[in-house]
Structure 1
Amino acid sequence: IDNMPIESIKATVFYKQRWLILLVDSSTACPVGPAILAGDQLVWPTPRILAPLVFPANITADRVTMGIDGKFLDDDTLEKRGYELYVNISVIAISIPVGAEGGLSKSHVLDNTYGIVYSIHLLLEHQWLDHLQELTQHRVYRLASTPFIPRIPRVIDTDISDPKEHFNITVGPFLPDVELVSIRVANRNLSVDDLKRHGYNIYPAVFPNGTADFIIELVVGAPFVTQQYLHDDIRRYILNMTLIFNVLPDDELFTLPVIRTVDVHDVVLPVMVGFCGDDSLYLLMQHGNLDHYWLPCVADQLLSFELAQMYGYMTLENGTHFSLAVPLSSPGVVHEEISLHELQARIDFSLKDNQTLEVYSSFSVRCTFFIPHEEVLVCFQNGTVAVSVQSTITLPDIDVRKLVLRDPTCGPREQDEMKALFVFDINSCGTVGRFMKDFIVYENEISYPKETIPVDFPVITRDPDYRCENHMETYVTTFHPVITKHVKNPSSLKRFEVQTIASNNSGGLQGLIYIHCNVAVCDLTNPGVTCGRRCAPSKRGGRTINHSAQELQSTVSSGPINILTVTPSPGRKETSDEARWKLSWVVLLAVGAAVLASVLLLAVMYAVKSRHH
């Protein structure tokens, strides 16, 4: 009727007497349409006139009343509870506020969404008089229910203090049939009691209408609260948790995420200072209150215990300060500038976020080191190489101004009497690159043009092209017999011994040296020729050796000879004569072998020449 469904039963009751048959119409009808949710009102409409029972033209008067749970309610009660009864020419409707007294609200979960269903037992009575003045009463009992109504709980932080020190989270409202069973934080499911032991204060706040909010209170720095440094002295606290609820008695679970952030000016920043030592760069850092969220790095490498040991870094931690010492020669040191006597270097220290590895803070220590006597080799990041050379790397000292690279046009950029500095690009001056596993090694050479040393300038040198003459005439040549089974006719051979000059060094001559001797073989039967030395004055007042035309001459070279230092016994100092004689025996061993062969060769040549004459 009027688009409102009803169910009706057509019935006639026959009463039969001896001379009379009585027909009684017992038809009935019931509205079966559902209640309708209109905003926050539950509305149940029914037809005013149920046609199977009565025709509208036959009604002379009617009255409509309502109630709940089988009991009629007076007008005051209806008004107090917000119930409404609407009657027009064709429709009777009852309107009940959702959640009003007299009904029942029940929690439910649909697709992890919390909501309610509101139900109420309605009573509707309609009385009317027909044209025969007969009274008809029609009562309908109906359970009216809402569909599922989502009730998304609100999540608010009621703490508005500044500076903020607490989270005060309020979640709700919920019906009394909802309980908070656990909370998921940091990928862990913890019960309410577990979180209370971590300093969380969790409790329900019940309202007069029976609903309740759940309150969660905690300090901003409580466990499971994530902290993030923003900038300056500002730290962000992030509360990220998932609340897990249960609806009783049906055990319907649902979850509710809670994410709240607050920015607080409470960061104590670390303070870093740098200073320089004789051969190291130093950094001292005073700790802040957020250091455990940062990773220390040197030259963009994580400063671990293993890295410090491998690179020779020295670290010290006392709880309030951290110190770092980096030797100048260690990896991670960046060389910036170099001159003949100074080297500027730096280390780059940084703190990175331990999650994102984003650089929070960086600090560089720059030092200038005085290097008057050191030889350095520096490879700059721009492909430039700098290397210095001392004049004292050889005996005698070299003239560093004459040093060149592989490309003889590449000389020192700076030099003084003692030192030269070369600065060149890896693609210039004859530099050659070669691959070694994961590296490219660039090579060049520093060389000194070979020169003949004047005979009146005696030197000892590692260079076999240099010559040294012995003008000490107080020592005579001595021959020794050859006792060995490795040569034939050893009796016809002699070993040659000569006393050489000693070093002016207090520790004696050391290191690698070369020995060069002039050897002459003469005929002792010739009365006009002797093998004795005849010396003629030289330009510098020294002596030179002169041989007769009948002598065969040759130059004998031996070396290098590595002269080692012998430590004298405790309490006894070695005399200069002992040092000189010790050197003589070393030279004897070296020269003897070379001269032995040379004398033999000269003797053969002399014999052949004598036969020829």
Structure 2
Amino acid sequence: MTFHTPDPKVMLLTDAQRAGYGVMMTQTRLVIRSPYNTAETYSVEVAGVPMEVFSVSTYNKIGSLIVDSAAACPTGGVVFTDKVITWHVPRRITPLISSAVKILETHMGVYGQRLDKTKMATRHYKLSVTESHIIIEFPVGSPDGYYKSHAPDYAYHITYTVEPMLELLWRAENTQADTRYKVLFPITTPLMPRPPHVIDNSVPEQRVFDILLGTFLHDVELINITFTTRVLTVAECNARGFDVQEHRFANSSKTFSLRVPFSDEVVLKRNPDPLTTVYFLPLVFAPIQCFRSVCSLAAFSVLVLPTITGSCDQENFYVSVKYGSQQDNFQTMMLHAGSWRELDTELAKLYGLTDNGTHFSIIVHFTAPAAAFEDVYFKSIRARVDLLLLETLNMWQLNDFSIACYFPLTTTECYSNGTATATAVKVESVSNLNPEYLTLRDRSCKPAFSNDRFAFFSFKLNSCGTTRTVRLLLVFCPVCLVTGWPSCFRHTISCYYLLNYTKTMAFCASPRSTDPMADPGVGHLVVQIRLSKDISYTLFYQTEDYPVKKYLRQPLYFEVELMQSTDPQIEVVLENCWATLHKDRTSLPNWDLIVDSCESLDDLYLTVFHPVVADTRIHVPAHIKRFSIKMFTFTKDDVVLKEQIFVHCDAVLCDTTKPDGICSGQCANPLRYANSLRPTVADASQHKKQISSGPILL
């Protein structure tokens, strides 16, 4: 074997095999394999593309030439951008071609498999031919390749690897020999830095560091996190309550999240001023790929002060306190009965305190001890509620609040029977007043009721030192409230009465155009049919008595009754009655008993109607119809078909004020026709009821 390096170098077959070359020969094929960068290969640049060339001539033992073989593989020609990989292959590979050639086929593939044009277009692959090169383009991140993580110098990088294939078929113009050329060329992008991003989602009001780190490839795992004071594994972080989680995405990438409470010892903090706290959280993330992500987070927690709002209605103050960033970590003080007092459990119960986690609310009646009276008017009183919020540790004042409203209050009432009532109120400006010591001008007229804030008097206007003054037609009755203390307090109340006063009242009446009528209502009317035991219609067969046994031609007494109604304007009319062999009212054969409200003329034994009169049971006779028939059976050719009958009726509920048609009365029109046709389907009128009797055995 002669290797061209390009200088010739002769080696025996055994020497070539020891040097790492592979040689195999069959009757039709000679295969020679050579690694890259061996001593017998050489590099050459073809159309600007570096190629590794392997050329060898093989002889038989007697020295005659067998074949010249050559292989040329590109080792470069790749251009990278952030999004596209471009691979250039020389169109004319001179180490393999000694004359002009014509390219017959050009194919592209991946990992040794050809791709058709549809797949290439779907994956955005491009194959083009220029005068000097065959160019293949494919995007970075195509699904035929894969990413891998790297950590040179503890910095996170990634690479993308893909193995495109180029397959050519050319024909030499001088020899017309065809050569098929195939190259599998693994390409790996240069290291692409991907420094992880730390996203701080912390909200100071929640008092938790909320950190998101990423994005990483699927081959990265988080091992531990280095804090200022210690190194913790992921399991130790979760056990400590830090909530470390891994988040995977559809493209196999992942991120890591971490939540650390401000209160944990790994969090550093300082107070630049009394109302501001700054929290620091230095971190070093150590994933399995041996790179580090270092971050230092700071959260400026400016104290959000609690706020107070309030409103009033005719009786109460409504006060709401919204928590700030310190939640309920403050003290609430109320001006209660003239002095500041903490809103403790007792006062909270007194004023109906409710708390939903973000607010608390209280309701204060305007006469409660927490309401201070500012001024009193003839028909109203002005009251005020004061609150103070203090920081718990240093007792700093966080907020103060005051709300004043007017509430209806009648202090004096004069009555026509010559009596009067008066209410004295202790206001804030006379703090030394004790209402219990107040009297009227007559010191014996003391309050009917008094406490530390009110004094209530009830008296006659001809007593307690009351004076009268007549002014034209008015009587003026003043009386004074005085105190028994040395300090002076005097309040005059007055009542005015007219000596002569007449009130004129007028009214008018118009005759009624119509009498009142009841509105129509909607309900259910029930009609039933019963079989009486005899003509007295006092005893009836019950449900458990059926089937009832009767002898041939023995009378059967039926009663049809409208139930649960006392309306005298309703009348029951039996429109049709008939008998069948079966329970089905539409079954055949059948025999008419009543047709068009009258007895059937086809029956040898006519149906007999019986009158109904009022008694202790029957209050409205029109609600009941009675008739009787004689027991019979259906026969055919003198043969009894079945020894039982069922009786069915269509009952019509009629308005007696509107007699018309069938509602003219039971058999009101005796002119009828024999064998008249009875409808087999019941009338859809809302006044018609269908009823049936149980089986009667012969």
TM-score by length of 2: 0.34
Query: Which has the larger share of helix?
Result: 1
